[in-house]
């Protein structure tokens, strides 16, 4: 299995729900094709280096995953047909270049915190 890093830029005016839906769709495609998601990182809206599809800003999403080359074909096909995606790039990377996975945040209620003394 190879390791990949895919950065896609969404239209900056999309509502948060739509951005999350597109991100969920893209991660679902990787998983359906037998890939394994390592990390998905939302970088937020940033200024583009140059205008893309008449946009000066874009919403950046980074996704790192492991999979076979067929995953890339399906993923990039979906990038092309999705109107919310204005630009994308996928690269093969070495395993040592993977970002550390972020630990799941533990949620505690105020009552639990008082009971544990935190």
Q: Name the more confident of 110 and 96.
A: 96
Say if 111 falls within a structural domain. no
Is residue 44 assigned to a domain? Answer: yes
Residues contacting residue 82 through CB under 8 Å, at least 6 positions apart: 22, 25
- Indicate whether 106 belongs to any domain: no
Is residue 105 in some structural domain? no
Q: Which CATH number does the domain housing residue 52 bear? A: 3.30.70.60
Q: What is the pLDDT of residue 99?
A: 73
The CA angle 73-92-36, to the nearest 5 degrees, is 70
Task: Quickly state the pLDDT bin for 94 (edges 50, 70, 90).
Answer: confident
Mean pLDDT of all residues in 36-61? 94
Specify the pTM: 0.79
Would residue 118 count as lying in a domain? no
Q: How many domains in the chain?
A: 1
Whether 114 maps to a domain, the answer reads no
Q: Which domain holds residue 38?
A: 2-96
**Residue at 108 is within a domain:** no
Output DSSP code: residue 14.
Answer: S
> What is the pLDDT at residue 98?
76
Residue 113 covered by a domain: no
């Amino acid at each position: 299995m190879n390791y990949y890093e895919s950065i896609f830029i969404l239209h900056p005016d999309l509502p948060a729900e739509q951005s999350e839906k597109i991100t969920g769709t893209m991660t679902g495609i990787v998983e359906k094709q037998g890939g394994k998601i390592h990390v998905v990182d939302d970088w937020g809206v940033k200024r583009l280096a140059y205008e893309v599809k008449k946009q000066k800003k874009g919403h950046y999403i980074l996704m790192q995953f492991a999979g076979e080359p067929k995953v890339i074909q399906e993923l990039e096909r979906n990038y092309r047909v999705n109107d919310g995606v204005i630009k994308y790039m996928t690269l093969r990377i070495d395993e040592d270049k993977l970002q550390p996975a972020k630990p799941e945040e533990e949620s505690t209620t105020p009552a639990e915190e008082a009971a544990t003394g935190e």
